[in-house]
Structure 1
Amino acid sequence: MSETTKGIQDAGVVACAKHYILNEQEHFRQVGESVGRGYNISETLSSNIDDKTMHELYLWPFADAVRAGVGSVMCSYQQINNSYGCQNSKTLNGILKGELGFQGFVMSDWQAQHAGVASALAGMDMSTPGDTVFQSGLSFWGANLTVAVLNGTVPAYRIDDMAMRIMAAFFKVGQTVEGLEPVNMDSWSLDTYGYLHAGVKDGYQQINWHVDVQSDHGNLIREIAGKSTVLLKNEGALPLKNPKFLAVIGEDAGPSPLGPNGCADRGCNKGTLAMSWGSGTANFPYLSTPIDALNQQAINDHTRIEAVLDNYATNTIETLVKQDGATALVFVNANSGEGYIDVDGNEGDRQNLTLWGNGDELIKKVSSLCNNTIVVIHSVGPTLVTDWYDSPNVTAILWAGLPGQESGRAIVDVLYGKVNPAARTPFTWAAKSEDYGADVLYKPNNGNDAPQQDFTEGNFIDYRALDKANIKPIFEFGHGLSYTTFKYANIKVEKTNAGPYKPTKGKTVEAPTFGNFSTNIEDYAFPRAIRYIREGLRGSRIRTNG
C-alpha cells in the first residue's frame, strides 16, 4: 500500500487508502444488498475486534499509507464494534487522525454515510456521492450541515478542518486551481455526447474526447504481470524449450464469447480471468489471452499447438492430451469481487476455495492421461490444490493472480523463460479451508439485527493460524521457486535491543472559538449566480455552479 500510494501521488493524483477498517468480507456490508438476496437484516455487519489485534494486524497497511503521505482514506460500509465505520470516532478521530497523525481527508464509501452530525463529529470530511440514496436529491449534509453549525450541534471549526484537509491533499500532490486541465471524459458513459447531469438529463454536450492515454503502459503491465507470477512447483518442466506439441486446455486460456468488456463491471467469469469484478474495474483497451500469445510463440517455434477451450468437452480433451509427446497446459481460475454483484451464487465472496468451472476435475483428468501437465492458476487468492498438486504427472504449477490486459504475453514470457518467475506467494496454500481458522460469515447470526462477526482468532490468520495449530501447509506463505539455483550459507543472526516504548503525552491546542454570526439560514443560501437544476424523480432542487 505504501508503494502504491507513492506511485499514484507522484503522478499528481490524490491516493485513497481503503477500506478503513476491518472490511474483511462482502456479505452483509450493506442492508440493501442483503435484503435483495433474502437476508432479513436491519443493520450491516459488525466486525468485532480487540484493541491488540486491531493495532498489531489490521492497522498496519493504513499506517504504512499514512507514512507514505496518503491524501485520503475511505471509511468502510460495515460497522466496527457495532459503530458504523464512517461515524466511528474511535477509529477515525482516535486511531487514524490521532495515533497515526493522518492529515488528509476521510471520505465515505458511496452511501456508507448513515448520519449527518455523527459522521461530522466522528471525523468524516467528505460525503460521497453526497446523497443519502442514489439520485434521491436528499443529503445528510448539504443544507443539513449548515443548520447543524447554526444550531451549535457541529462546531464551525470542524467545517474549517474538513475544507483544510481536502485542500491540503489537493495541494500536496502538486495541483493548483489555476493549472487544472478541463475534464475530457465521463466515467459513466462511453458515448461521445451525453448529458453533463445524466441523472436529470440536463446539459447535453460532448462528454468524452476518447483520448489515448496508453503510452507505453502495456509494456509495464506485461513486465509486472510476468515478474509477479509465482512458481509453486517445477519438476524440470519449465521453462519450455521449443516443445514439439502443446495441448492447451481450459476456458481460462481463451477469450470470453462476450468480449473482454462484455459483462458490466466485469461481473461474470467467462474466458481468461485477468480482472476481478466490481465498481473499481476499468474497461480493457485490449486483452492478450494465453491462447493468443501461445499461438504466436508456437508459430515462431514451429510447434504444433491445439486447444480445447471448453472445460466440459471431456471426450475431445481426452483424445487430445493422451497423444504421445504432448505437453499439456491447463488453465484454471477462481474469481470473486464486490458485493453488489453475484456471479454463479458467489455474492461477492467466494462460496469456497475450489477452482471454478470444474477446474479441479479438469486437472485430474488431464494429468491422468498426460505425464507432463503444467497448471496455470488465475485466481483472487488461495485455492485448494490438495487432490492433484503432488501427482507425478503434474510437473509444474504457476499462480499468475489477476494479471491484467497483458495476461497472455506475460504468462508466455514466464513459460518460455524470458522472465524469471521470482515472486513469492502472499498467502498460504492450505490443504483444506478449515486450516485457515477464520472464514466468511455466510448466514446472518443475530436475528434481524446486525450480523456479528467476532474476530476471536485475534492475530492468528493465514500462516499464523496454521503455525498455532501445528498444521503443515501445502505451499507456505512466502513460497516461490525460480529458474535459478542458489543456496544459503554462513547465516548469522544478530540480536538488536529496541528501546522501551514511550507513548506520547500532552494535549493538542484548544479548539478555536468564533464570534457571533447570523442564525438565519437564508443568509447562507447559494449565491444567485449558481444555477438550479431540478431533480427529476422528486422535483427537489440540486444546485450547481456548472
Structure 2
Amino acid sequence: MTIASADHDTIEMELDELIPTLSLKEKVAMMSGKDFYKYYFSVDNRQFGVRAYNAGGGCEEIDLAPLSYADGPRGVRLPNGTTCFPVSMARGASWDVDLEHRIGSAMGVEARALGLTLLSNVCINLLRHPAWGRSQETYGEDPYHLGEMGAALVEGTQSQNVMATAKHLAANSIENARFKVDVTVSERALREVYLPHFKRVVDAGCATVMSAYNQVNGHYCAHNAHLLRDILKDEWGFEGFVHSDWVKGVYGADAAEAGLDIENPEPTFFGEDLVHAVKSGETNEAVVDEAVRRILRMQLRFSRAADPRSYSTSDVGCAAHAELAQEAAEKSMVLLKNNDILPLARNGARIAVLGRLADKVNLGDHGSSNVTPPYAVTPLAGIKNLVDRHIALQSDTSGDPIAAAALAKNNDIAIVIVGYTYFDEGEFIPGDVALEEVSGEEDAHRGGDRSSLRLPQADVDLIRSVAATGTKMVVCVMGGGAITMDEWSDLADAILMIWYPGMEGGTALARILFGDISPSGKLPFSIPAYESHLPYFDKHADDITYDMYHGYTLFDRESITPALPFGFGLSYTQFIYGDPTLEMIDDIALVRVKITNRGAMAGAEVAQLYVGFGNSVIDRPKKLLKGFKRLELEPGETAVAEFTLDRSAFAHYVERDKCWRLDPVPFEVLVGPASNLLKPCQTMLIWPE
C-alpha cells in the first residue's frame, strides 16, 4: 500500500495534536488486545480462530475501532467457508509472484468481507532444516525467493486496505522448542541469511510485523531491541507497528522499551504493569507515545484509503477464488520423476487409485493456519470428476498393502497417494500450552517438528507392495516440506510432489496427471540424499547456533550432491536455454537469456539467476539466487527472460564496520532451470568504484 506524501503529512500532524491529549491509561489501552479469554473460555469452547479478535489499537477520541484480527497463510482463518489455497510452501514452488499477489488480493477481499482489518498471512521464516514442523507455512529455503514471494502477498493483501502481518521476526525455525530455544547467530549471518526477506517485505510497505517466540542471542524476540529497534525501526525505517505472537510471546512490560508496540491477545504485561513502569520511571512515556503513533498511523492510513471495490459475504469462498486456488495448485505441483508414463491417456487404460490419503481431505496444519473451506476436492474425487466416464477406474483407500496390491495387479496403472497429515507436522499443539481444546492423547500432541524426513513406514510398505505387482506406478506425495525418497524412488515410474494442495487440489492433480496442463512447479528447497548432510537440528533444543550455510549453499560448500537440487522440476515439454548475456546500463547489470519451448505442449518455465562468489577473498557461498522469471510458452515459442541486478545483489555484511561492502572482484552470473543446471554469462561482472 502506498500513501501520498500530503496524506502522510496530514496524518502525522493529526497525531502530533491527538497523542498529547490522551491519558497514559488511554494510550496503554491501545497497546494490547482485549476480551480474547472472555470469548475463548466462556463462549468458544476453547477453540481458536472461530471469530475475529481485538488485537489492540483503536481510539474513541477519533471514533476509530480496534484492530480486527485473524490468521491466514493459506486463507482467512474464520469459520465462514473461506477459500483454502495451497499451503505457502506449495505456492513457493510456483515461483509466480503475480499469482501470489492475486492470492493476497483474494485473501484481502475475504478479510474485508468478514470485517477484518489485520490479517496475519505472511509467514517468511527461512527453512533452515526441512524437519521444521511449520515449513508448510513459509515459501522455502532461500532468502531472495522468500522476500519476493512474501512481498507479493503483502502488496496483494494490502491492495484491499487490509493490513498484512509479516511473521515471525526472527530466526524462528524450530517448532517444538519455539517457546524457549535461544538461537545464537552472528551479525553477518543474521543480516545475510535470516533478515533479507523481512527487509524486502518492509520495503514493500508491510504494515505490521509479528515478533517470534524464540530467543535470538540471549533475548526473547519481543524483548530484542537490536532486532526491533536498531534494525527494523531505525535502520530499515519501518513505519508500522510490531505485535507479539499470541499467548506466550511477552515476558514483561520492558518489551515496550525494546520496540514491541502491541501485546496479544490480552494486556498481561501491557496493562497495569506498563502503566506502573511509566509512573515509576522504569519506562519512558515517550516509548508509549511512539507505539501509539505507530498503531494509529497505520489505522488511519488504511481506514482512510479509497477501496478498490465493494465487499460482501458473497465474496467469501466464491467461484473466482476457487478458480484461483485451482490455478495455484496446478502451478505448484512438482514433477520429480517421469519414465515416460505421464501424462496418462484419458481412455483405454485401467487405473487404480490407492492409498489412505487418496480420498482424504488433507489441507495441512490444524494450528493457527487452519482453514475451513466450503468444500475440498480430494485426489480420488478430482480424478473421478475428470475421467471416470472414459476409463475403468478402481480405488482402495484403506492403505492396506495387500488389498492395494490385489487391486493394482488387475490394472494397467496405479496412482498411489502417500504422505503426511496435520498429525505428522505443523504447529506444535502440546495440549493446554497452545490453549486448544483437544480430543484425546494423540490429538493433544499432534503436529510439531518431524523426527524423520522419510515417508511413514505404512506408505513405504504400500509402495513396495504395489511395485511388486509389476503394474506401472505413479506416486503422488502430500506434505509441507522435503521428503526423502531414496528407499522407494527407484520403484516408481513417476513421482509428483502435490503438497497440501488446497480446496481444488484434486482437480489440479487430475488435470496434470492426464495432460490438460504440464507440471511447472520447481522445488523451493533441496532434498538431501541423506539426512546427515543437513545442518544440526534438535527439536527439543534449549540453544542452537545458526551459521551462514544451509540448503543448497551448504551442499555447494561441502561438494555434496543432493537427491534433488533447489529449483528442480520436470515438465511434459522441453525448454532450451540460449547463452545468457550481460550488459551494464549506468549502475545496473542487465542479464538476458532466450528460452525456447521445443516440445509439442504448452508449458511454463522458471528461469533462475544466481550470482557466483568463487573469486571472493572472504568466506561466501559459492552462489546465491538473485532473480527468477516465470515464462509461459506455446510450442515452438521463444521468449526472453530479463533480469536486473544492482550492487546490493553482490554485497556482504562487514560486522566490524557495521556496513555492507562490495569487494572489487569478478563475479560470475549464471542462469538456468535449476541450481545445478546453470549457464554462465561469457563475461564476469566487476563493479566500477
TM-superposed CA distance for 1:372, in Å, is 1.5
Q: Identify the residue that residue 434 of structure 1 maps to in structure 2.
A: 532
Match of 1:226 among 304, 309, 330: 330
TM-superposed CA distance for 1:492, in Å, is 3.7
Q: For residue 140 of structure 1, give the secondary structure of its aligned residue in structure 2.
A: coil
Match of 1:287 among 364, 376, 384: 376
Match of 1:412 among 505, 510, 517: 510
Q: Alpha-carbon deviations, 1:381-434, whole Å to 9, x = none?
A: 01110012233xx22111111211111111112112222211110011112211
Q: Identify the residue that residue 304 of structure 1 maps to in structure 2.
A: 392
Q: For residue 490 of structure 2, give the secondary structure of its aligned residue in structure 1.
A: coil
Q: What's the TM-score, normalizing by structure 2?
A: 0.58
Q: Identify the residue that residue 359 of structure 1 maps to in structure 2.
A: 459
Whether 1:314 and 2:414 are equivalent positions in the alignment is no
Q: For residue 152 of structure 1, give the secondary structure of its aligned residue in structure 2.
A: coil
Matched letter for residue 461 of structure 1: H
Once the two structures are superposed, the pairs formed by residues 85-234 of structure 1 within 5 Å of their partners are: 85-131=221-267, 139-172=268-301, 174-176=302-304, 213-215=316-318, 216-234=320-338
CA distance in 2, matches of 1:49, 1:274: 34
Matched letter for residue 245 of structure 1: R
Once the two structures are superposed, the pairs formed by residues 366-385 of structure 1 within 5 Å of their partners are: 366-385=466-485
Matched letter for residue 176 of structure 2: H
Match of 1:8 among 157, 161, 165: 157
Match of 2:412 among 326, 329, 335: 326
CA distance in 2, matches of 1:178, 1:157: 32
Q: For residue 471 of structure 1, give the secondary structure of its aligned residue in structure 2.
A: coil
Q: For residue 575 of structure 2, give the secondary structure of its aligned residue in structure 1.
A: coil
Q: For residue 251 of structure 1, give the secondary structure of its aligned residue in structure 2.
A: coil
Match of 1:245 among 341, 350, 355: 350
Q: Alpha-carbon deviations, 1:330-375, whole Å to 9, x = none?
A: 1011241111257696651112111136212222221222342101
Is contact 2:223–2:255 with CA below 8 Å preserved after alignment? yes
**Cα 1:317/1:71, change in 2 over 3 Å:** same
**Cα 1:279/1:117, change in 2 over 3 Å:** same
Q: Identify the residue that residue 548 of structure 2 maps to in structure 1.
A: 459
Q: Identify the residue that residue 26 of structure 1 maps to in structure 2.
A: 175
CA distance in 1, matches of 2:190, 2:326: 36
**Cα 1:241/1:359, change in 2 over 3 Å:** same
**Cα 1:443/1:369, change in 2 over 3 Å:** same
Matched letter for residue 406 of structure 1: E
CA distance in 1, matches of 2:341, 2:450: 31
Is contact 1:273–1:333 with CA below 8 Å preserved after alignment? no
Is contact 2:191–2:653 with CA below 8 Å preserved after alignment? no
Q: Alpha-carbon deviations, 1:135-154, whole Å to 9, x = none?
A: xxxx2121222222222222
Root-mean-square deviation (Å): 2.8
Is contact 2:555–2:562 with CA below 8 Å preserved after alignment? yes
Q: For residue 367 of structure 2, give the secondary structure of its aligned residue in structure 1.
A: coil
Q: Alpha-carbon deviations, 1:27-66, whole Å to 9, x = none?
A: 2223xxxxxxxxxxxxx11111111111111102211110
TM-superposed CA distance for 1:498, in Å, is 3.8
Is contact 2:188–2:653 with CA below 8 Å preserved after alignment? no
**Cα 1:249/1:464, change in 2 over 3 Å:** same
**Cα 1:501/1:109, change in 2 over 3 Å:** closer
Q: For residue 239 of structure 1, give the secondary structure of its aligned residue in structure 2.
A: coil
Q: For residue 175 of structure 1, give the secondary structure of its aligned residue in structure 2.
A: helix
Is contact 1:251–1:272 with CA below 8 Å preserved after alignment? no
TM-superposed CA distance for 1:212, in Å, is 6.3
Q: Alpha-carbon deviations, 1:113-160, whole Å to 9, x = none?
A: 4333310100000010024xxxxxxx2121222222222222222222
Q: For residue 225 of structure 1, give the secondary structure of its aligned residue in structure 2.
A: helix
Q: For residue 8 of structure 1, give the secondary structure of its aligned residue in structure 2.
A: helix
CA distance in 1, matches of 2:264, 2:298: 17
Q: For residue 61 of structure 1, give the secondary structure of its aligned residue in structure 2.
A: helix
Is contact 2:175–2:539 with CA below 8 Å preserved after alignment? no
Matched letter for residue 154 of structure 1: T
Q: Alpha-carbon deviations, 1:259-315, whole Å to 9, x = none?
A: xxxxxxxxxxxx342222212212121111111111122333x2011111112x222
CA distance in 1, matches of 2:647, 2:204: 23
Aligned residues: 427
Is contact 2:354–2:395 with CA below 8 Å preserved after alignment? yes
| Structure with the larger strand share | 2
% of aligned pairs identical? 30
TM-superposed CA distance for 1:317, in Å, is 1.2
- The structure with the larger Rg is 1
Matched letter for residue 24 of structure 1: S
Which consecutive residues of structure 1, in runs of 5 or more, have no partner in the other structure?
A: 31-43, 132-138, 185-209, 255-270, 445-450, 506-546
**Cα 1:45/1:303, change in 2 over 3 Å:** same
Matched letter for residue 442 of structure 1: K
Q: For residue 369 of structure 1, give the secondary structure of its aligned residue in structure 2.
A: coil
Q: Identify the residue that residue 217 of structure 2 maps to in structure 1.
A: 81
- Structure 1 residues 65-74 or 347-356, which shifts more? 347-356
**Cα 1:373/1:343, change in 2 over 3 Å:** farther
